[in-house]
Structure 1
């Protein structure tokens, strides 16, 4: 969408990937420099509000989530605000706990919509990129789509559309994927571990995967997984094994999907339409790593939609009381039950189930055309 090119060129092969030079799996990095190639907003006065890869983006105005981290491990939630509009002073603190986690929902989208309306009216950028996240959440929690959530996001969109009308700006609505109902979690890493290819280290905080010692491991990201295979001669054996796992549709080379970038795995697993890939690598929940039961998007070696659920509100309240009293605590309230997840994405199962563009003019038929489409609209507006 941003570059008009495929992942083999721009390098964003998923929400996270394996860094071979440091032997780390890292998800949800924000540095704009990770996106290789020119973005369509470069050269225009742009406001980039809560779109990802926003940190140090070459734009005039930006806002993005960014906590403060203390030396004692404490964390204070906040945003980076480079809009010159003093957003948190005017709107109150950003509702971070509704942006992701068990309490994720409408409040974050409403706050972002209000922030965007302020920036649009006061700064009048040539181009504004605004992300409204909350429609994503319940469509992963529940198998039946909630039209009330669609109405909520419509109301948030109206706030932005009204502001755009006030400054005579054209509006284009875009989604980068469509969610589909799922009922089958698939545990690729457990299969690889049973074959002896995945290595772990036992310790006081549970079992930790050691990617640099693995012959093969999977970085799971919704309905797609990158499989990193250390030795070329093992490729066929790993591919055959994973292809036999129930819930796996295809196991292909990265180049078949335009994912042949140095960050990609040697193999790509695609789930069946009703399945998705859970990152779990432990064989017994008693030795699960301590981060598995917490909202910890940066330490987990895979995407974890179970973070949208909670074991119990009472347990969470007890943990908050310990925090307020100054005791050590861990917010280990996330269930280890992937069967709870009811929606996922990553496959193009049908034309009406994928990305969506609503706008004027000749709409592109593929997302690689979105970049040139927006630039053409900007030229017409200018």
Structure 2
């Protein structure tokens, strides 16, 4: 079976391709391009589960990036166990067709306790003193120390939060190339989040976004150039696009005005009190 690398460049749309994307343009010229229809909800966890199973959220069960647990009166986001995703996964189908098929799933979500042969995903350490220490979870477990020794600690705070930038995507790209060369997987799934940060912070028309487009194109180019020497197929996908809007719809403000939302004040800041609220978004 021909080796394949799938680059999930979240936020990428055909509208962003142009003078700033010579590497992606060249890949498109050698192959082709088409628009993908996304799903509802168009959020990371749901879309990735659809891509890896071919099912819709009603069937694979990932109906959002988190769930509200009514019995706990708590919202839990970003669960990690792949056992939450119903349906046959693409790597399971590949192995059913060809027992020698292997898959490396790198930073795609629901990546703990997966049936994929190789997994790497963010998994911070939370010691008793309340700190949050960057780390990753890997399968096989020994890969974690190998990556830390080769690439340094995963830059978690450049992956999530206000300082998120290209540093995390570069680490992921380096990780992907190392695993591609050292483990030779049949299918390599790579998640590159850079574009999503400023698309959501600044919007698609902000001039600073062009720098991100150039950076992600360069990063993709480094992967494409290396893997295509082996006649590996490269597929670039995106979970969703971000477009300009004329004005936001503040759903929770409307619900609050209707008396359906309750809040509590902590250290001068208002926080949603989910268990005391009749409805919230």
TM-score, with normalisation over the residues of structure 1? Answer: 0.53
2:88 counterpart of 1:38: yes
Instruction: State the Cα deviation string for residues 309-336 of structure 1 (Å, max 9, x = none).
Output: xxxxxxxxxxxxxxxxxxxxxxxxxxxx
Deviation at 1:215, TM superposition (A): 2.1
Report the Cα distance in structure 1 between the residues aligned to 2:170 and 2:72, rounded to whole angstroms: 39
Q: Per the alignment, in what secondary structure is the counterpart of residue 184 of structure 1?
A: coil
2:114 counterpart of 1:57: yes
Alignment partner of 1:82 out of 139, 142, 152: 139
Higher share of residues assigned helix: 2
Runs of 4+ in structure 1 deviating by more than 6 angstroms, as ranges, are none
Q: Structure 2: which 5+ residue stretches go unaligned?
A: 1-50, 96-100
Alignment partner of 2:61 out of 3, 7, 11: 11
Q: Per the alignment, in what secondary structure is the counterpart of residue 63 of structure 2?
A: coil
Equivalenced residues, count: 218
Deviation at 1:178, TM superposition (A): 0.7
Task: Quote the residue 2:211 is aligned against.
Answer: 148
Deviation at 1:125, TM superposition (A): 0.7
Report the Cα distance in structure 1 between the residues aligned to 2:139 and 2:85, rounded to whole angstroms: 20
2:123 counterpart of 1:66: yes
Cα distance, 1:18–1:172 mapped onto 2, change above 3 Å: same
Cα distance, 1:182–1:40 mapped onto 2, change above 3 Å: same
Report the Cα distance in structure 2 between the residues aligned to 1:136 and 1:207, rounded to whole angstroms: 27
> Are the equivalent residues in 2 in contact too, given 1:3–1:39 (CA < 8 A)?
yes
Report the Cα distance in structure 2 between the residues aligned to 1:203 and 1:171, rounded to whole angstroms: 49
TM-score, with normalisation over the residues of structure 2? Answer: 0.71
Task: Quote the residue 1:26 is aligned against.
Answer: 76
Task: Quote the residue 1:96 is aligned against.
Answer: 156
Report the Cα distance in structure 2 between the residues aligned to 1:173 and 1:203, rounded to whole angstroms: 44
> Are the equivalent residues in 2 in contact too, given 1:24–1:211 (CA < 8 A)?
yes
Q: Per the alignment, in what secondary structure is the counterpart of residue 193 of structure 1?
A: helix
Instruction: State the Cα deviation string for residues 37-88 of structure 1 (Å, max 9, x = none).
Output: 2211223411010111111111111111111001221111111233655112
Instruction: State the Cα deviation string for residues 329-381 of structure 1 (Å, max 9, x = none).
Output: xxxxxxxxxxxxxxxxxxxxxxxxxxxxxxxxxxxxxxxxxxxxxxxxxxxxx
Task: Quote the residue 2:165 is aligned against.
Answer: 105
Cα distance, 1:196–1:141 mapped onto 2, change above 3 Å: closer
Q: Map residues 285-296 of structure 1 onto 2, 5 A cutoff.
A: none
Q: Map residues 326-345 of structure 1 onto 2, 5 A cutoff.
A: none
Report the Cα distance in structure 1 between the residues aligned to 2:78 and 2:196, rounded to whole angstroms: 16
Task: Quote the residue 1:314 is aligned against.
Answer: none
Larger radius of gyration: 1
